[in-house]
A = this chain, B = another copy of it.
């Protein structure tokens, strides 16, 4: 690929003039601009962003670090971020960590060496993350998504996980449920897992009910029905569960159906995230909807404006669906007995 010197020669101008045709076209006389452009076209010249970046010390690439792309919420967020970044002239360097600290560290190191202009990332626990310290020390701008720093005050964008989960639980309570469980993937120690559990606890407590321990699955994307089954039997069986993401909820519904458990008659199931596909299944999935496109675009905006320093909270919505209903009468009756 040819460089500016060749273009300048062919156009009969100096390097500087040829360069200006691309960086400051309005500085040139129309005919010289034309000469340069024709020459560059003829040579198949393309400005070298790497050289420009070295010279100007500012990059046109943003780094993105997400836990996974297997959850459609992250994939869609990435797509929204990419679009928003591109309209501002930026490209996205993308990596996934699976929440593994070593991978996070390697990726962040790579991006720092690459001198990205900034980073959007989601970590397990924003208040205890090594990579965020690294970024701060390197004076690299970043914005957290989904994370909710409590002690620190990193820039972040997310929904109010605690409030959202409380509302979801409230909805199930209003339907008449009393024995409500919470199903989660691994990483219970993540900041939002904690907040969601608190939201669940808030609602249960206000209803004068006991919150149950989290039912923890081995995977973020697939529920193991066997872990839930014991709690569906006995004196005080669960009549409803809320999952911390929609994939867990969807696979739970499938597994329940195969096990002969009727949804929602015998068990109400609610998800979290509000991914599209949940709406189109049968039964449709009730969920807490996150404005994921807004979240993606907003993260890029925050990063590029580098204005705000605190947490930007986005509105969530409770999405109703056929996966939840009032509990069977027998279960209600049962629940009236003190345990």
Contacts and interface: CB of A to CB of B under 8 A. Distances in A.
Interface of A: 1, 44, 46-51, 53-54, 59-61, 68-70, 72, 74-76, 78-79, 82-83, 86, 91-96, 106-107, 109-115, 137-139, 221-223, 247, 250-251, 253-258, 276-277, 280-282, 284
Contacts of A69: 69, 75-76, 78-79
A48 B280 contact: no
Contact of A277 (B60, B96, B107, B277): B277
10 A-B pairs with the lowest CB-CB distances in the bound complex, closest first: A257-B282, A251-B280, A75-B75, A69-B75, A254-B282, A94-B94, A69-B79, A254-B281, A254-B280, A49-B113
A70 B46 CA distance: 32
What is the copy number of this chain in the assembly?
2
Contacts of A250: 277, 280-281
A49 B79 contact: no
Given A82-B95, A281-B250, A70 B61 contact: no
Contacts of A92: 93-95
Nearest to A1: B138
Contacts of A282: 253-254, 256-258
7 contacts: A46-B109, A48-B113, A70-B79, A82-B95, A83-B96, A91-B110, A277-B277
The winner among A92, A111, A256 for most chain B CB atoms within 10 A is A92
Given A82-B94, A91-B114, A93-B93, 10 more contacts: A1-B115, A61-B114, A69-B75, A69-B76, A72-B72, A82-B95, A86-B106, A91-B93, A94-B94, A250-B281
Contacts of A254: 280-282, 284
Contacts of A276: 70, 221-222
A49 B115 contact: yes
A50 B280 contact: no
Nearest to A53: B50
A253 B281 CA distance: 7
A83 B95 CA distance: 8
Nearest to A284: B254
A278 to B, nearest CB: 10
A222 B278 CA distance: 11
A285 to B, nearest CB: 10
Contacts of A1: 115, 138-139
A113 B46 contact: yes
A69 to B, nearest CB: 4
A301 B127 CA distance: 38
B111 A91 contact: yes
Contacts of A75: 69-70, 72, 74-75
Contact of A70 (B76, B82, B280, B281): B76
Most buried by B among A54, A137, A247: A54
B70 A70 contact: no
A221 B94 CA distance: 24
Contacts of A109: 46
A110 to B, nearest CB: 6
